[in-house]
């Protein structure tokens, strides 16, 4: 096997206990991609665990702050890395005063909470040393050799320049394989939809949240009095917010059957709370009434057929049940 075949072999066969090995593989691959090309193939390159740890923290930070994904089988005993990241997120929210999910690079976390950031990096390095660095190379009890050199408990690993170059040249295949494996693992621990999209989105610069204004005309149509779905009072003197009843972080999709008008303040105070059964019942009734109105008006676009399907297939209730885990 050449280096890339070995690397892919490890990724495809790494165990399903938690997602550490995929995070580790992704971090090293990204370091390789950013590394300047070295053409002398005999050179050995040092990669510090500190650099790997920073990448790994970023993946878990974003998967947690946006989607609250579970990274191992037991929710009561999350992997150390997730605990580290959750503490960092809590500290970030306190210091920045914002509960809005944010990409790692846009968070300025290093300057907003420098002490907690430093602590998180050190803790992540310890977790990688004790759980990942040397285990990564072991597949079914056998060590795959010729991948990198690592002394147990050391602060760096060493990898041949030509192997780094190979990772760089094959980055699309390698990152796809890693994301695919990561998604497969998450499927064991999470019931939320669109997991592969949630994993892949971390590679993109910005998590796109599309404008919901195209839904306004439909919502207004069913709710001309502009009543807030959350507190049931009239919305006056402000543009109504469009609220996802089942949290966006869970569904990762904008669908008419899940969208309602709300006060700006009601909308921002609830964030990712799972709605009560009473709310779900009201949403189901709303959807039936909305579909009826749309049909009476002779509407016949894709929103009508999507809403019809959602009503027939009980999407509201099904997704509500599954988002409770
Ligand atoms: Zn309200």
Indicate the range of 57-61, 89-93, 270-274 predicted with least confidence.
270-274
pLDDT at 204 over 80: no
- Low-confidence winner among 135-149, 198-212, 249-263, 298-312 (lowest mean pLDDT): 198-212
C-alpha–C-alpha distance, residues 148 and 44, integer Å? 9
Tell me which residue of 258, 263, 270 sits closest to 212, measured CA to CA. 258
**By the 8 A CB rule, do 47 and 157 touch?**
yes
Render pLDDT for 101-135 as a digit per residue (tens, 0 to 9): 888 988 899 999 999 999 999 999 999 999 898 88
pLDDT at 42: 80
> What pLDDT is recorded for position 209?
72
Q: Ligand 1 mean position to 83 CA, how many Å?
A: 34
**270 Cα–ligand 1 center, Å:** 11
d(CA 282, ligand 1 centre) in Å: 15
Q: Which residue has the higher pLDDT, 234 or 211?
A: 234
d(CA 230, ligand 1 centre) in Å: 5
In percent, how much of the chain has pLDDT > 70? Answer: 98
Cβ burial of 199 (10 Å; 0-12, 13-18, 19+) is buried
Angle between helices 3-13 and 161-169 (to 10 degrees): 70
Q: Note the pLDDT of residue 325.
A: 66
How far apart CA 272 and CA 323 sit, in angstroms, is 11
Cα–Cα distances in Å, from 19 out to 24, 86, 145, 290, 295? 9, 16, 22, 42, 47
Q: Are residues 162 and 32 in contact, defined by beta-carbon separation less than 8 angstroms? A: no
pLDDT at 210 over 80: no
| Cα(288)–Cα(284) distance, integer angstroms | 6
pLDDT of residue 144: 93
102 Cα–ligand 1 center, Å: 25
Between the CA of 118 and the centroid of ligand 1 the distance, in Å, is 41
Three-class DSSP category at 321: helix
Model pLDDT, residue 80 = 95
* For residues 40-50, average pLDDT: 89
For residue 36, name the pLDDT band (cuts at 50, 70, 90): confident
CA of 290 to the centre of ligand 1 (A): 20
Does residue 187 surpass a pLDDT of 80? yes
Q: How confident is the model over 151-180, as a mean pLDDT?
A: 94
Distance 224 CA to ligand 1 centre (A): 15
Query: 53 CA to middle of ligand 1, Å?
Result: 43
Alpha helices in the chain (DSSP H): 3-13, 20-34, 49-67, 80-96, 104-107, 109-112, 114-131, 161-169, 171-189, 195-200, 216-222, 248-251, 264-270, 277-296, 302-312, 315-323
Contacts of 133 (CB under 8 A, 6+ apart): 24, 49, 150, 152, 157
pLDDT of residue 74: 86
Distance 243 CA to ligand 1 centre (A): 11
CA of 269 to the centre of ligand 1 (A): 10
Instruction: Give the long-range contacts of residues 303-312, CB within 8 A, separation 24 or more.
Output: 303/218, 303/256, 306/255, 306/256, 306/257, 307/256, 307/257, 310/255, 310/256, 310/257, 311/257, 311/284, 311/287
Decide: 59 and 84 in contact? Cβ < 8 Å: no
Cβ distance 307 to 256 under 8 Å? Answer: yes
What integer pLDDT is reported at residue 206 of this predicted model?
64
Task: Give yes or no for a contact between 203 and 175, defined as CB atoms under 8 angstroms apart.
Answer: yes
| CA 232–ligand 1 middle distance (angstroms) | 6
Q: How far is CA 112 from the centre of its chain?
A: 22
Domain boundaries, the chain: 3-203, 213-323
DSSP three-state, residue 208: coil
* For range 160-168, the mean pLDDT: 93
Å from CA of 229 to ligand 1 middle: 7
How far is the centre of ligand 1, averaged over its atoms, from the C-alpha of 266 (Å)?
5
For residue 274, the CA-to-ligand 1 centroid distance in Å is: 17
Residue 235: pLDDT band (50, 70, 90) is very high
The alpha carbon of 261 and the centre of ligand 1 are apart by a number of angstroms equal to 9
Distance 240 CA to ligand 1 centre (A): 9
pLDDT beyond 80 at 208 = no
Band of the pLDDT at 18, cuts 50, 70, 90?
A: confident
Residue 38 has pLDDT above 90, yes or no: no
Residues within 5 Å of ion ligand 1, judged at the Cβ atom: 228, 230-231, 263, 266
**What pLDDT sits at residue 115?**
96
What pLDDT shows up at residue 251?
A: 84
On whether the CB atoms of residues 53 and 124 are closer than 8 A, the answer is: yes
Whether the CB-CB separation of 78 and 89 falls below 8 Å is answered with no
Distance 33 CA to ligand 1 centre (A): 48
241 C-alpha to ligand 1 centroid (Å): 10
The structure's pTM equals 0.80
pLDDT band for 295, please (50, 70, 90 cuts).
very high
Q: How far apart are CA 186 and CA 50, in angstroms?
A: 25
């Amino acid at each position: 096997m050449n280096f890339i075949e070995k690397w892919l072999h490890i990724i495809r066969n790494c165990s399903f206990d938690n997602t550490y090995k995929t995070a580790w593989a992704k971090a090293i691959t990204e370091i390789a991609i950013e590394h300047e090309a070295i053409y002398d193939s005999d050179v050995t390159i040092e990669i510090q665990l500190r650099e790997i740890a920073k990448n790994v923290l970023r993946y878990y930070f974003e998967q947690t702050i946006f989607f609250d994904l579970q990274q191992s089988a037991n929710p009561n005993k999350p992997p150390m890395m997730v605990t580290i990241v959750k503490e960092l997120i809590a500290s970030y929210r306190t210091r920045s005063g914002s509960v809005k999910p944010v990409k790692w690079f846009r968070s300025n976390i290093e300057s907003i909470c420098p002490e907690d950031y430093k602590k998180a990096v050190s803790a992540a390095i310890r977790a990688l040393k004790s759980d990942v660095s040397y285990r990564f190379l072991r597949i079914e009890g056998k060590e795959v050799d010729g991948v990198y050199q690592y002394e147990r408990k050391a602060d760096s690993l060493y990898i041949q320049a030509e192997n780094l170059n190979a990772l760089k040249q094959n980055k699309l295949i390698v990152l796809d394989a890693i994301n695919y494996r990561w998604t497969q693992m998450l499927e064991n621990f999470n019931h939320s939809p669109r997991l592969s999209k949630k994993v892949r989105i971390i590679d993109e610069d910005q998590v796109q949240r599309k404008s919901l204004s195209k839904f306004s005309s439909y919502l207004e149509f069913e709710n001309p009095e502009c009543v807030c779905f959350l507190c049931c009072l009239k919305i006056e003197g402000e543009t109504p917010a469009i609220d996802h009843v089942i949290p966006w972080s869970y569904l990762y999709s904008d669908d008419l059957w899940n969208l309602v008008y709300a006060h700006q303040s009601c909308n921002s105070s609830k964030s990712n709370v799972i709605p009560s059964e009473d709310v779900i019942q009201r949403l189901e009734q709303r959807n039936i009434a909305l579909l009826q109105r749309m049909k009476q008006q002779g509407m016949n676009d894709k929103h009508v057929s999507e809403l019809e399907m959602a009503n027939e297939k009980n999407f509201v209730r099904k997704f509500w049940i599954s988002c409770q885990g």
